[in-house]
Amino acid sequence: MTELIKLTAAELAEKIHSREVSAVEVTQAHLDRIAEVDDHIHAFLHVDTEGALAAAKAVDEGLADGKAPASPLAGVPLALKDVLTTEGVPTTCGSKTLEGWLPPYDATVTRKLREAGVVILGKTNMDEFAMGSSTENSAYGPTHNPWDHARIPGGSGGGSSASIAAFEAAIAIGTDTGGSIRQPGSVTGTVGVKPTYGGVSRYGLVAFSSSLDQAGPCARTVLDAALLHEVIAGYDPRDSTSIDAPVPPVVAAARQGANGDLKGVKVGVVKEFGGDGYQPGVLRSFQAAVEQLRALGADVVEVSCPNFVYALPAYYLIAPSECSSNLARFDAMRYGLRVADDGSHSAEEVMSLTREKGFGPEVKRRIMLGTYALSSGYYDAYYGSAQKVRTLITRDFEAAFEQVDVLVSPTTPTTAFKIGERVDDPMAMYLADLCTIPSNLAGNAAMSVPSGLSDEDGLPVGLQIMAPALADDRLYRVGAAYEAARDAAAGGALIHKVPELGGTK
């Protein structure tokens, strides 16, 4: 493994900006890594070799001309989840419905990355339309966890998390509707952040559940995630849900946290997350992480959020309801897949046949759930009641944050499960997001940071940190402090312990 791809994004940027190494060299090293291992991992759906090298060359030329870097991450290679539109580059959302579609415009996140000089290597694999917890629902086949190729890398953004865990990219972008950044981060030993809802523009993010979807950073370190967060965040008038407020000082908070002092920080352990259904090794890792926070000077107390136990059923009424509405746009009339277009079928028949062929089983399941929940006579009983529960969960967070600065829990109840293990048991699959969903329903900020390896199976475990809306900087301070202490105790960064890749799937 070349030494360049082992460096953090911050380290790569420093070397590129000082012209110790060129952005083209760094990009080529990552492209070579993709060529070497992605047959085993399948993190990418499309690799834009020409576009990536051209972007890297532009960064090098600007530096040679004496221009300041466009951002602290200029020249750093990134993997982009295939749910964000990219002009002229395939955007499929992991679905046959959009196979071959070349968007005519960039998502705001994509545009900001380009303007910042970040090198987009390509588009990463995902559960179809971001519906899943394992990346097994992709129409293009599953992604494999770099720690164990027989296991899932999480979902829906398993391609993004796997790409950085496998050193194919330095940083990545994911999206989080019910945990799709944090849960993959947990099971691949990487950092994943769901910013405050509205903190990052959703313009050009192909919608699954509009009141829940949020793009955010994936990285191997908390500082790298903070640097990427600052690049993509900020108000966007093209997104009606975008928050017109300053971006929280996440980079400064990460640097402060790295000093390892959490004196004066109040940490609440969520009483409702733990016990039956949680892997013992996950709980032991979590308890060790809590003790480490206490050793750093944090004041740790137990906090009860009683309505969190209703988050999962509420989510699986709200999200499918919104998805059934959002996915109605894929009607075979305007763009994307169209079947039975031979003149012998009515428009309604073409639409029905196309959607039957184009959507996978999980997407169909959620469309049917959502359509039923919104139907006449059932709306108030299902969707309306779920929204009331959502309000109660938000109030639980508000009450908790009157007592503490951040909340903590395991990110996911188990380590990575085996590919195929839960495909026929949707409920077991949904339980992977048990701890992450409340933050999506409330819209507050949350992070998963690696908390070591389970003593049962040697696989990564994640510590979830939750903060109030627009207090994203608290995540980075606590996460960076914990990360520094964890690495010091372990004698090196966790992610560098990932096994060398090779062999067969």
Which residue out of 22, 71, 81, 123 is catalytically annotated? 81
Residue 22: is its pLDDT beyond 80?
Answer: yes
pLDDT at 503: 37
Given pLDDT bands bounded at 50, 70 and 90, which one contains residue 435? very high
The percentage of the chain sitting over the pLDDT mark of 70, rounded to a whole number, equals 97
Residue pLDDT, tens place only, 272-315: 999 889 999 999 999 999 999 999 999 999 999 999 999 999 99
| Pairing mode, strands 191-194 and 44-47 | unpaired
418 is catalytic: no
> Residue 207: pLDDT above 60?
yes
Q: Residue 347 — very low, low, confident or very high, per pLDDT cuts 50/70/90?
A: confident
In sequence order, the 6+-apart residues with CB closer than 8 A to the CB of 356 are none
Q: Taking the CA of residue 17 as centre, how many other CA atoms within 13 Å lie in the half-sphere pointing to its CB? A: 17
- Rounded average pLDDT over 470-479: 98
Give the model's pLDDT for residue 304: 98
Collect contacts of 395-400 with beta carbons under 8 A, ≥24 apart. 395/307, 396/305, 396/306, 396/307, 396/308, 396/438, 397/305, 397/438, 397/442, 397/444, 397/466, 397/468, 399/305, 400/268, 400/270, 400/303, 400/305
Average pLDDT over residues 165-170: 98
Mean pLDDT of 190-206: 98
Beta strand residue intervals within 4-110, DSSP E: 44-47, 77-81
Q: Which of 22, 134, 138, 180 is catalytic?
A: 180
Is 180 a residue of the active site? yes
The average confidence (pLDDT) of the chain is 95
**242 close to 235: Cβ distance less than 8 angstroms:** yes
Q: How far apart are CA 73 and CA 225, in angstroms?
A: 11
DSSP code at position 140: T
Share of the chain above pLDDT 90, in %: 87
Higher per-residue pLDDT: 28 or 427: 28
Which of helix, strand or coil describes residue 38? helix
Looking at the predicted structure, is the pLDDT value of residue 505 above 50?
no
Q: Is 271 a catalytic residue?
A: no
The mean pLDDT value for 12-30 works out to: 98
Q: Would the pLDDT of 502 be above 60?
A: no
Entry pTM = 0.96
- Whether residue 504 is predicted with pLDDT greater than 70 in this model: the reply is no
At the topology level, CATH places domain 3-309+390-497 in Amidase signature (AS) enzymes (3.90.1300)
List 133, 138, 156, 448, catalytic entry? 156
| CB-neighbour burial class of residue 339 (10 A; exposed 0-12, middle 13-18, buried 19+) | middle
Q: What is the mean predicted confidence (pLDDT) over 464-468? A: 98
Mean pLDDT of 51-70: 98
What tokens were used for 100? 């071959």
